[in-house]
């Protein structure tokens, strides 16, 4: 069995909850089909996931000598990253915190037998 091809994106500027909406669409699909699907998905997270998936496919071809048509998305996850806390001042001297959420996205490709 061929080894897994892993690519990681750390501190992506999209929340994990929004990224999971996109990665649930491509889980288990062929890598080429997943790239085409992400290209036409109108969500911000689709651009980040698409670039990560393209990088994983390129790594598989370059480093492991695998064929891109035989690859499929074995596992893909979006985990929470550290949240940036910003401040905004509201009416009557109040304080309105803003949470800028980030995520870590990991994709694992495998070769079909």
When pLDDT is cut at 50, 70 and 90, the band that residue 2 belongs to is: low
Rounded Cα gap, residues 107 and 100, in angstroms: 23
38-45 mean pLDDT: 96
Rounded Cα gap, residues 73 and 27, in angstroms: 6
What total of structural domains would you count in the chain? 1
CATH number of domain containing 40: 3.90.470.10
Alpha-carbon distance values, 55 to 30, 41, 87, 107 (Å): 15, 18, 35, 10
Residue 1 has pLDDT above 60, yes or no: no
Q: Which domain holds residue 63?
A: 5-111
Rounded Cα gap, residues 90 and 8, in angstroms: 38
């Amino acid at each position: 069995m061929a080894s897994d091809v892993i690519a990681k994106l750390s501190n992506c500027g999209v929340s994990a909850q929004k990224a999971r909406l996109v990665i649930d669409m491509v889980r288990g699909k062929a890598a080429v089909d997943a790239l085409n699907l992400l290209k036409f998905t109108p969500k911000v997270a689709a651009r980040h996931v698409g670039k990560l998936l393209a990088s994983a496919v390129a790594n598989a071809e370059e480093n492991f000598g695998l064929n891109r048509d035989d690859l499929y998305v074995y596992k893909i996850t979006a985990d929470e990253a550290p949240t940036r806390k910003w401040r905004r001042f509201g009416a009557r001297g109040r304080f309105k915190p803003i949470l800028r959420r980030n995520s870590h996205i990991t994709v694992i490709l495998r070769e079909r037998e």
